[in-house]
Amino acid sequence: MNKAERELLLRSFDDDLTDSESSSVDKLLRSDQDAAKHFANEEAFRALVGSTEVLSFENGFSGRVLAKTHPVPTSMRRVNLKRPWLFAAAACITILFVVGTLWAVQNLYSDTVTRQASFASTEVVSLPDGSTVVLNAGSSITFPRSFAGNRSVKLSGEAFFEVVENDAPFVVQTVDADLSVLGTTFNVRAWSDLEQRTMVHLQSGSLRVDDRDNRSVLMVPGDRVAVYRTSGLAVRVPGSAPSPTSVDWRDGIVAFDGERFDFAMAELERRYDVRIQFTDVELASRKVTYLPGSSKSVEAVLTTICSIFGYEYRQTSDGFNIESP
């Protein structure tokens, strides 16, 4: 979910949306797990706050927050506030407290668990059946606290799975496809906000990939399959050799094999927790191949990639800008 989509979700609570905007919200909630969770949390938070009025900004949302958590006598409701920033700060603190409480309660009593890897790091997740998942930076996985019957998880981002053999099927759900296995090792990449596809690389065992139109592809070790969001068709990626980029990230190695420039920069942002900006729109769709064979600093990676395209990078206070020389 990008910034514009997040703002549209928030506006849906306070403004009258056009038919086109309402349709966009409905589609976003159906297709993006993070957006649906964000919408549910916002809805629960606003229901908790209610409509109580308070002080001189009694009709505002922050006023309702204070009224719910710090009621004041009626005689104070018409006070002329000389330092409203104090109450605004109190409202912000209250909002953070309520949201944090809601999040903690939701995770404590929920039947599902969500784990997310921070930027510039990976995270190893142990599933209830003993299977192991390695999350790439910025990726998240949601799964039941205990598997009853089918073993089903939801992935946003990129992860490497080592699935223990079991009579119950193991299903990985992404925005584009369902992956069904019994016991195998494979890599999945499904960034809903950056790519219009789910990429799968099978290392061992067998794997069936089903797209959203119930068409399937059976994979054998070494296969790479792409499920495209627009066509919904699962197709094998040309080339018999597996891409090194599909597994090297677990060893801290950054590698790109014919990736779009904008995707490569977003990947560097996650892997190194920096901000990378560029203004040349034509640069976004150009293909990047970078196979260093060992881990490098972000400066070393940018130096090589920029030199390929004849660009330069300039360090800023929070990251880098890529510019024409």
Rounded mean pLDDT for each run of 10 residues along the chain, 325 residues in total? 72 74 75 71 64 42 48 45 50 59 52 93 94 95 89 94 89 93 87 84 89 86 85 62 59 84 92 92 90 81 92 92 88
SS3 content of the chain, % helix, strand, coil (to 5): 35, 30, 35
Token couple for 124: 């190893």
CB 33 within 8 A of CB 154: yes
- Residue 218 sits in the same domain as residue 125: yes
Q: Which of 219, 244, 269 is the last residue of a domain?
A: 244
- Residue 267 sits in the same domain as residue 160: no
- Residue 116 sits in the same domain as residue 103: no
Stretch (H or E) spanning 26: helix 19-31
The confidence score (pLDDT) of residue 33 equals 66
Domains in the chain, number:
3
d(C-alpha 98, C-alpha 218), whole Å = 47
Using only C-alpha atoms, what is the Rg of the chain? Answer: 23
- Residue 54 sits in the same domain as residue 120: no
- Residue 194 sits in the same domain as residue 286: no
Token couple for 170: 């193991």
Token couple for 239: 């080339």
278 pairs with which residues across the strands? 322
- Residue 117 sits in the same domain as residue 235: yes
Domain with 175 in it: what CATH number? 2.60.120.1440
- Chain centroid to CA 106: 19
- Residue 103 sits in the same domain as residue 131: no
The owner of tokens 């300039």 is 314
- Phi/psi for 49 (5° steps) reads -65, -45
* Nearest CA among 181, 176, 186 for reference residue 227: 176
- Residue 121 sits in the same domain as residue 231: yes
The confidence score (pLDDT) of residue 104 equals 52
The confidence score (pLDDT) of residue 36 equals 72
Considering the entire predicted model, what is its pTM? 0.59
Biggest alpha carbon distance in the chain? 78
The confidence score (pLDDT) of residue 42 equals 73
The DSSP bridge pattern shows strands 224-228 and 256-260 to be unpaired
Domain with 293 in it: what CATH number? 3.55.50.30
- Residue 102 sits in the same domain as residue 116: no
Question: Residue 276 is part of which domain span?
Answer: 253-323
Q: Which of 80, 109, 138 is the last residue of a domain?
A: 109
Strands (E) located in 128-167 = 132-135, 140-144, 151-162
Residues 43, 44, 45: CA angle, nearest 5 degrees: 90
- Residue 223 sits in the same domain as residue 264: no
- Residue 120 sits in the same domain as residue 231: yes
How many residues in total does the chain contain? 325
The confidence score (pLDDT) of residue 65 equals 45
- Residue 156 sits in the same domain as residue 36: no
Q: Which of 218, 244, 270 is the last residue of a domain?
A: 244
